[in-house]
Amino acid sequence: MKVDLKDPAWRQTLPPSRSAASDAPVAACAFNRDGSTVAFALGDGRVRLLPADIKAAEAPAAEPAHKGVVLSLVGDPAGDGFVSGGDDGRLLRIGLDGAATEIANQKGRWIEHMVAHRASGALAASAGKMALVVKGDTVREFGPHQSTVADLDFAKDGGRIACAHYGGVTVWSLGEATVAPRSFKWSGSHVALKWSTDGKFLATGTQENDIHVWRLAQATDMRMQGYPAKVKSLSWSADARWLYTSSQPLFTAWSFAGKGPEGKPPLQFGDEGAGLMTVVAAHPAAEFVVGGYDSGELQLGDIKSKRSVVLKMSDNSAITCLAWSADGFKIAAGNEKGDLLVIDLRR
C-alpha cells in the first residue's frame, strides 16, 4: 500500500468513503472473511450489511436479528458472513443475504464480546461468567469465572483463549487434553483485553484507568498509569512491537521491542485537539494505526513518520468501533449516533 502521510493530498482532502445512517448506536463493526462486505452491530437489533466497495449499490437494511441490542460482531471465521451476539442471549450466524441462524441461546445472559480466529475457524464469545468457544457445530463452555467475562481474546495460534474478569485474566487451553487454566492475577476489575500478536503478552485496561501487562513466559507483570479515563480499547501492532491504547488525546504506543516499556514513557504522536481517543485499531500488516475520538474525528497515524491525518471530521458523536479489512486498504467505523462509515485508503 502506498500511503504517504507527508503527501499534501492527505492533508488537503479526505479519502473516498461511503456513509449510511442508521439512527441506532453502533456497538461493533467487522469485515467478512473475503473483505467484500462490512457489517455493523446496531442498537435496534439489526446487523446492517454494506458492500465494502464504496461505489457498489447498497443492499436494503434487513429485519432486526436480535430482540434488543446487537452487542458483538465478528466476520465469520468459518464462513462468508458474520456472527453476532446480543443482549437477548443469542449467538447468530448472519449470511450475506441477511438471513440469521442461531448457534447458541443463553437466555438471560448478554453475549457482549466476541473474537474470531481465522486460521482455525473458531470464535469465542462471552456469556455472563462463561466463555463460549464455537468451532464447526460444537459449542464448548469455559468457566465460570469469578465475575462476568469483561473481554476475551485468542492466542496467536488459536490454541488458547484469555478471559478478563475481576482479579485478573484466566487462560484456557482449547486442546482435547484437559489442562488446568492458568491465572494471571491483579486485583480490581479488568475491562478490556488483548493478547499480543506474537503471543508473548497479555494486556488489559482496568477500572482504575491503568494498563496492566503480563509476560506469559515469566509470569511477571507491569502497570502503566496516567490515563484520564478507562482504557477500553487496546491494539497491538502487527509486528507486536507496539501496544496502542485509547483514552489519550494523541496516538499512544508502548514499546515492546527490546527490553519492553518499563521505565519509559509511551511514544505519542498525532494532532491534538480532537478530544479523547475512544477506539484504536492497528493496521493488520503495516506501520499504520487508526484512532477514533469522542468528538467523532477519525485520524490515520503512521508510527514511522509520527504523523497523522484526518480521515473524518468531528461531528460530536463519539466513535464507538473501528475495523480494518484484512488487506489493509479499508477502514470501517461506527459512532454513537448511528452513522456507518467505510473508508477506502486507495485514493
Using CB under 8 A, list all residues that contact other proteins: 23-25, 27, 42-44, 67-69, 71, 87-88, 108-110, 112, 128-129, 147-148, 150, 166, 187-189, 206-208, 229-230, 316-318, 336-338
Q: Which is nearer to other proteins, 161 or 319 (CB)?
A: 319
Min dist. Cβ of residue 279 to other proteins (A): 14
Min dist. Cβ of residue 161 to other proteins (A): 19
Q: Which is nearer to other proteins, 36 or 147 (CB)?
A: 147
Retrieve residue 252's grid coordinates.
499512544
Min dist. Cβ of residue 63 to other proteins (A): 14
Q: Which is nearer to other proteins, 27 or 155 (CB)?
A: 27
Min dist. Cβ of residue 318 to other proteins (A): 7
- CA neighbours within 13 Å on the CB side: how many for 6? 4
Read off φ and ψ for residue 248, nearest 5 degrees.
-135, 160
Retrieve residue 58's grid coordinates.
447498497
Min dist. Cβ of residue 314 to other proteins (A): 12
Q: Which is nearer to other proteins, 101 or 187 (CB)?
A: 187
| CB-CB contact of 330 with 35 (8 Å) | yes
Min dist. Cβ of residue 166 to other proteins (A): 5
| CB-CB contact of 209 with 229 (8 Å) | yes
Query: Which residues lie closer than 8 Å to 173 by C-beta, 6 or more apart?
Result: 159, 160, 179, 181
Chain centroid to Cα 8, Å, comes to 30
Q: Which is nearer to other proteins, 103 or 318 (CB)?
A: 318
Min dist. Cβ of residue 184 to other proteins (A): 15
Q: Which is nearer to other proteins, 27 or 114 (CB)?
A: 27
Q: Which is nearer to other proteins, 166 or 329 (CB)?
A: 166
Min dist. Cβ of residue 9 to other proteins (A): 31
Q: Which is nearer to other proteins, 43 or 77 (CB)?
A: 43
Query: How far apart, in whole angstroms, are the C-alpha atoms of residue 333 and residue 318?
Result: 11
Ramachandran region of residue 273, left (φ > 0), alpha (ψ -120 to 50) or beta?
left
